[in-house]
């Protein structure tokens, strides 16, 4: 009897969650507004029965993972650049831009705002993630010379910016 009840609750949950799921056409209309639409479609299609809020949460989680991986890489690059003060200085600055007072902190703040239902705040905080990443890769001001980085850090930055681009568009759809 209990197993039948659990199964019934599970089936009702599936029907309830899929009825709020966004249709494929909306996924495409969201993704066309991002900097990398094919990436976006792949990202959002990985959870086909999700609501906009669930997709936003998932995208925040993916951003956190990618920023954390970038921090791990940056720490390794700092260790490897002991004999190159210019590289070491660049990577230390990047660690600041990606760390708790930078992109990682902004990801956490984005999460906090999503939980509070402050969808406009989610958008603003997510944009700050991109600013932090860009400050590492391109410098803090237009007059800063860009560091000629041959590591995989710029590739990590591109992925993070693609994830955040999806997050920015999703945040505009929240609450509608």
pLDDT for the residue 110:
98
State residue 91's pLDDT score.
97
Full domain range(s) for residue 160: 23-173
Q: What is the pLDDT of residue 20?
A: 67
Task: Enter the pTM of the model.
Answer: 0.85
- Residue by residue, pLDDT tens for the chain (176 residues) are 443 333 333 333 333 344 467 888 889 999 999 999 999 999 999 888 899 999 999 999 999 999 999 999 999 999 999 999 999 999 999 999 999 999 999 999 999 999 999 999 999 999 999 999 999 999 887 777 788 999 999 999 999 999 999 999 999 988 66
Q: Is residue 121 part of a domain?
A: yes
Q: Please say whether the beta carbons of 71 and 99 come within 8 A.
A: yes
Residue 22 pLDDT: 82
Asked if 39 contacts 96 with a C-beta cutoff of 8 angstroms, the reply is no
What one-character-per-residue DSSP string does 9-78 give?
HHHHHHHHHHHTSPPHHHHHHHHTTSS-HHHHHHHHHTSTT--HHHHHHHHHHHHHHHHHHHHHHHHHHH
DSSP state of 126: H
Which CATH number goes with the domain that contains 147? Answer: 1.20.140.40
Largest CA distance in the chain: 71
Residue 140 lies in a domain: yes
Average per-residue pLDDT for the chain: 88
The answer as to whether 40 is a domain residue is yes
**CA 176 remoteness from chain centre:** 21
Residue 176, both tokens: 């509608």
Specify if 129 maps to a domain.
Answer: yes
Residues 32/69/152/134 CA torsion (nearest 10 deg): 60
Residue 15 lies in a domain: no
Give the percent of the chain with pLDDT over 90: 74
Is the distance from CB of 52 to CB of 171 less than 8 angstroms? no
**Residue 137 CB coordination number (10 Å):** 19
Give the per-residue pLDDT at 17: 40
Classify residue 10: in a domain, yes or no: no
pLDDT of 117? 94
pLDDT score for 90: 95
User: What domain count does the chain have?
Assistant: 1
């Amino acid at each position: 009897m209990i197993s039948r009840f659990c199964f019934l609750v599970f089936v009702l949950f599936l029907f309830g969650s899929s009825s709020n799921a966004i249709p494929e056409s909306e996924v495409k209309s969201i993704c066309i507004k991002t900097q990398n639409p094919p990436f976006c479609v792949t990202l959002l299609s990985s959870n086909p029965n999700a609501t906009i809020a669930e997709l936003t949460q998932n995208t925040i989680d993916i951003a956190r993972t990618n920023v954390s991986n970038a921090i791990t890489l940056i720490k390794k690059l700092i260790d490897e650049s002991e004999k190159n003060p210019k590289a070491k200085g660049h990577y230390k600055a990047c660690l600041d831009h990606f760390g708790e007072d930078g992109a990682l902190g902004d990801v956490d703040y984005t999460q906090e705002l999503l939980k509070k239902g402050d969808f406009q705040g989610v958008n603003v905080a997510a944009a700050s993630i991109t600013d932090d990443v860009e400050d590492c890769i391109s410098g803090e001001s237009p007059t800063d010379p860009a560091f000629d980085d041959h590591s995989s850090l710029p590739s990590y930055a591109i992925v993070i910016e693609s994830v955040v681009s999806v997050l920015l568009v999703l945040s505009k759809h929240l609450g509608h």
